[in-house]
Structure 1
Amino acid sequence: MSSLRMEPHYSKDRKRWNQAWERSLKSKFALRRNYIDAILDLPGAALPMELLTSSAHLVTMQSSRDELVNLERDLTSYLNNHTGFEGAWQAAGAARREELILEGLVRSCDAVADMEDRRVNCPESCLDFLQRDNGRGFIDLANALSDPPEPEPRIVPHPAYDALIGVGDATKRTPAHKVLARMKTITRNFFLAMMVWNTVLA
């Protein structure tokens, strides 16, 4: 089992599993480290730098980008066709919203083998963020992932994550580090979009 997987497993106790994840995320994003140390600590950073910039890897990354765009497009269509979702979500109450969010998280982590690992860069997946202002946090995240500027996906900014990977500090980034940061940003946003999508469908 990957070191990024939390115990107990969500199949045994999803609340305690999520609490373990939230402790890990809040600890990680409270840290302030320099760009190189932070990015080399990201999952996937052990790949040789020449592999990161290879044609095959860049094609794979573009495919991942396209998958994210498609997911965001589907989410946009759903929200446009369910105009009452926002009101229903806020009226559901905190306990019911928590059930739906946990279900969305579990479904997302079950989707593919490495999906749970992708949560490592998603502090927005914490309940206090999603539940804030009577559930407004989740709605804001859903809207932030909607209407992608195709062919590019909609990228959700986060001050701590952006600082962690060196956004705005391009002078310190080699071409391979730029590719790695791009790859991690796509996988991060894919997890967020998948979590939102599975939650609205729960």
Structure 2
Amino acid sequence: MYSEIVPGRLWAGSINSVKPENMRALTDKGLVCVVSCLPIGQVGAFPPEVIEPKPKAHHILTCWDDEVVEPKRIDYAIHLNVPTLIHCNAGQNRSTCIAACWLLKHDGWLTHPSTTWQEALVAVTLKRRELLGREPKVYDEMRENVRRYAEWLRARTASPTGRLRHSEPAMQNVPIKSELGSRIKKAFRGSE
């Protein structure tokens, strides 16, 4: 089953979340993307009767419960800012932590400097606990994934230019030989 983490935008759960009755209910709520957090070697394609109706996007993040993965792999899996279901097999460890990463990226958690990755993880954990009736089991490696992802995301969005991927402004289209071009470059780069 699944928990609604952010109303109408984010759900986290187990493999049972993608059963037809759950998928129909989630599709009615606006679900667009499914992120499957699967162990390496588990097939990511579901039989037609399992994941029906089909989501518009299906991303697979392959990792073990006790594996620290590169933040860019997590980012690729959750990059769409659309209503998303994140699931793993048991709905406790991987899905909980990757849902916390989704919160950090898409729900404004990093726009407040005082907000920590731990708070995002606690928010998801509390929602999962409501459904499970107990604290979800979260491995230290998965907590480390959330911490590393938060640091990676902050570094990417802390650029003085406001660009997400580069700390240098995009100057290739600024006419460098004109006085205006020189003033624009100086405004971005300062005196070099």
Higher helix proportion, which one? 1
Between the two structures, name the one with larger relative contact order (CA 8 Å, sep ≥ 6). Answer: 1
Higher strand proportion, which one? 2
Query: So what's the TM-score if we normalise by structure 2?
Result: 0.24
Q: Who wins on radius of gyration, i.e. which is larger?
A: 2
